[in-house]
Amino acid sequence: MKAKFKRSYVTGNPESPDIFQLIYHVDVSVVDDDGSELPGLMTFIFDVVSPRWIEKYLKTSQIMLGRHFIIARDANLDLVDEKLSDYVNTFTGETADEIDRQLEKLGRSDNMEGLPVPVRHFL
């Protein structure tokens, strides 16, 4: 089985072209070995931030702990999508759950109850 990047959407507005923190949502499906997509999608969320945004953050805080974020020079969302699609499509596993666990390294699951497994939502 393998992961398949489906789509993304972004919330947030850049302060400027080079100072931004955007919340990025990625929908991923799982394809079985015969090429059939399994029902449902997994959604993962992470931040896309600029180096200048990090600089601004560090002016008010001495330390930044980071997980589930990507650093991008500018808010070129087409480029972010292209890189994410290439990356997500490399994930494989014996089961959909195994792929879910790998994808959790990319972003936190969009699970309002805070459960440790990604949400599968059906369209």
Give me 10's structure tokens: 């972004």
Please give the pLDDT value at position 119: 38
Kindly give the confidence (pLDDT) of every residue in the chain, 123 residues in length, as a single tens digit, with 9 standing for 90 and above.
Answer: 999 999 999 988 888 889 999 999 999 999 988 889 888 888 899 999 999 999 999 999 888 888 888 999 988 889 999 999 999 999 999 988 898 888 888 888 765 444 443 333 333
Per 3-state DSSP, the chain is made up of helix, strand and coil in percentages (nearest 5) of: 25, 35, 40
Question: Domain limits of the chain?
Answer: 2-110
Please give the pLDDT value at position 108: 83
Please give the pLDDT value at position 54: 93
Asked if 20 contacts 87 with a C-beta cutoff of 8 angstroms, the reply is: no
CA distance 83 to 55: 24
